[in-house]
Amino acid sequence: MAAALRRVKGMVGLVTGGASGLGRATAERLVQQGASAVIVDLPTSDGPSVAKALGEQCVFAPADVTSEVDIKGVLALVREKFGRLDLAVNCAGIAVAVKTYNAKKDLPHSLEDFQRVLNVNVAGTFNVIRLSAGEMGKNDPDSDGHRGVIVNTASVAAFEGQVGQAAYSASKGGIVGMTLPIARDLAPIGIRVVTIAPGTNPSVAPVVGSPGLRGEGVQAGIEGHQRSWGGCGWGLRRTGSAGVDSVGGGSGLWAGIEGHWQGWGRAAIEGHWQSMGGIAGSHPHLTVSLPPGLFATPLLAGLPEKVQTFLARQVPFPSRLGLPGEYAHLVQCIVENPMLNGEVIRLDGAIRMQP
Ligand SMILES: NC(=O)c1ccc[n+]([C@@H]2O[C@H](COP(=O)([O-])OP(=O)(O)OC[C@H]3O[C@@H](n4cnc5c(N)ncnc54)[C@H](O)[C@@H]3O)[C@@H](O)[C@H]2O)c1
């Protein structure tokens, strides 16, 4: 007997982190496929313009995923505008890159930073799931008993976390770990839960509010980083979203990229952590933004071609950066295949991250 495959067409989906990168590609795909999309992102994000460009089937709902009040407000807007919720895609996330303990500086990882990453990535994802489930539960079931689908975003860092990724990996491991129990919890009401783990690379962007730090700290960090990671990419995030304090200006950006290449192939690990520890220690407002990623989101797209080429070569096949549209395509496949449930799917071209 043929399975009752669901179609994305006609669905109503919310996408957290939908103003940028993987979330934005997902919102775009949903609308292109005839669904309605609610972009849930920070008020400071590009959400308004992204939603406007997608037309009437898309609205922006400014919200912080960690806030119960905000997400309840989002769901009220979804109901008012579209009358139902069928799909929730969790793409909002942040990262820091700090070693657990910097022996040279006698400096432990900031507990506040660790908790902030866990709060946004794990608690924020859970907050959206638990409240969305109540909304989806009101839907009439289809012939298979379906009422809704939830898609989360982890990272291969959940399995192969690298040096400096304790907080990020813990958060993504948390998303992986809660996938099955939540799928079991929601099975009786016909809601499926699937997590995508995109390929990862430490391209986290150190963005600092103090100009004095950019040249020295970031460059040194990049050099050290190369040593520790054996040649992975660092760059500065250009946008002001995701709670970034400020954007490293042109000089900082290019100093960073220069540093990246200068540091290429050098052979010691300490420089990175000295510099990162130095920044974090002397500047408590250090904000490091998203994400460790091998998907060509705005962050990677801003890097020089040779950096992108290097990153792409780390992927066995196809040896290139993933396209945000490929993530979005997988979201659609998950929605439309009713037997996918309680599972974590790697989307990584067979990459296995080195320490
Ligand atoms: N890009 C990659 O290669 C890659 C790889 C592995 C995992 N990931 C994961 O995929 C997700 C999306 O990554 P991306 O590359 O699209 O990042 P991105 O920075 O382009 O987009 C993330 C979005 O999340 C939003 N956001 C951050 N904190 C928020 C909060 N508290 N409430 C609401 N919105 C918030 C930001 O404003 C931003 O628009 C992240 O969870 C990331 O960890 C990405």
For the cut 90, the answer to whether the pLDDT of residue 266 exceeds it is: no
**What number is the average pLDDT over the span 260-288?**
26
Residue 168 is among the residues annotated as catalytic for this protein: yes
Q: What is the pLDDT of residues 24-71, one digit of tens each?
A: 999 999 999 999 999 999 999 999 999 999 999 999 999 999 999 999
Summary mean pLDDT of the chain: 77
- Distance in Å, CA 141 to ligand 1 centroid: 31
Atom 5 of ligand 1, nearest CA residue: 293
For the cut 90, the answer to whether the pLDDT of residue 274 exceeds it is: no
- Distance in Å, CA 188 to ligand 1 centroid: 30
- Given 168, 273, 310, 327, the catalytic residue: 168
pLDDT of residue 78: 98
Q: What is the pLDDT of residues 153-164, one digit of tens each?
A: 999 999 999 899
pLDDT of residue 353: 85
Task: Let me know if 337 is exposed, middle or buried by CB neighbors in 10 A (0-12, 13-18, 19+).
Answer: middle
* CATH code, 12-92+111-199+322-347: 3.40.50.720
Cβ of 202 closer than 6 Å to ligand 1, yes or no, is no
Nearest to 19 by CA among 314, 319, 298: 298
pLDDT of residue 248: 28
Atom 40 of ligand 1, nearest CA residue: 93
- Distance in Å, CA 17 to ligand 1 centroid: 6
For the cut 80, the answer to whether the pLDDT of residue 289 exceeds it is: no
For the cut 70, the answer to whether the pLDDT of residue 221 exceeds it is: no
Atom 34 of ligand 1, nearest CA residue: 41
* DSSP 8-state secondary structure symbol assigned to residue 214: I
pLDDT of residue 75: 98
131-145, 215-229, 249-263: which has the highest mean pLDDT? 131-145
Give the pLDDT band (50/70/90) at residue 345.
very high
Cβ of 288 closer than 6 Å to ligand 1, yes or no, is no
Report the SS3 class of residue 319. Answer: coil
Whether the bond into 316 is cis, omega within 30 of 0: no
- Distance in Å, CA 16 to ligand 1 centroid: 8
Task: Let me know if 177 is exposed, middle or buried by CB neighbors in 10 A (0-12, 13-18, 19+).
Answer: middle
Beta strands in the chain (DSSP E): 12-16, 36-41, 58-62, 87-90, 101-102, 107-108, 148-153, 191-198, 205-207, 287-289, 343-347
Nearest to 291 by CA among 17, 5, 4, 9: 17
For the cut 80, the answer to whether the pLDDT of residue 177 exceeds it is: yes
Give the pLDDT band (50/70/90) at residue 5.
low
Nearest to 47 by CA among 21, 74, 18: 18
Q: How far apart, in whole angstroms, are the C-alpha atoms of residue 57 and residue 37?
A: 6
Pair 197, 155: CB distance under 8 Å:
yes
Q: What is the pLDDT of residues 225-239, one digit of tens each?
A: 322 222 233 333 322
The ligand 1 atom nearest the CA atom of 44:
37
